[in-house]
Structure 1
């Protein structure tokens, strides 16, 4: 169980949405958290991969070179 205090404006918007859609407020809070967590997880994974790449000393390949190597040129 988690208790969260929301600013009045956000709580009002959440109440309005719940009333308009006949869904509980908890549904929208769960959905919002799920989407936000997915985005944050992606950001952390990308940052971690970038740090590993930089630490490896491997050279980056310019996009046009990569496209040429993979025969993706137009």
Structure 2
């Protein structure tokens, strides 16, 4: 199957440079990128598993101590 995709000239240049660096064709790089995208996002269970894994790895990004609201009175 042939699929046509339009990209910005800057993206095309980056793709060509990467393909040359890897010793692959532009088409091979795009094919591999689509395969990776589908593996990551195409299967709902796999996407959910990866999201849960990333959530476990993330640390809170607090810039200050959160007050203990339970001790506040009106």
CA distance in 2, matches of 1:29, 1:47: 21
The verdict on how the C-alpha distance between 1:26 and 1:46 changes in structure 2, with shifts beyond 3 A counting, is: closer
Normalising to structure 1: TM-score of the pair? 0.52
| RMSD of aligned Cα (Å) | 2.2
Structure 2 portions without partners, runs of 5+: 49-74
- Label 1:46 to 1:27 Cα distance change in 2 as closer, same or farther (>3 A): closer
1:36 aligns with: 37
Q: Post-superposition, which runs of at least 4 consecutive aligned residues in structure 1 deviate over 4 A?
A: none
Greater helix share, structure number = 1
- TM-score of the aligned structures, taking structure 2 as reference length: 0.52
**Matches of residues 39-58 of structure 1 in structure 2 within 5 Å?**
39-42=40-43, 44-45=44-45
Describe the SS at the equivalent of 1:9: helix
Structure 1, unaligned runs of 5 or more: 49-74
Task: Indicate the residue corresponding to 2:64 in structure 1.
Answer: none
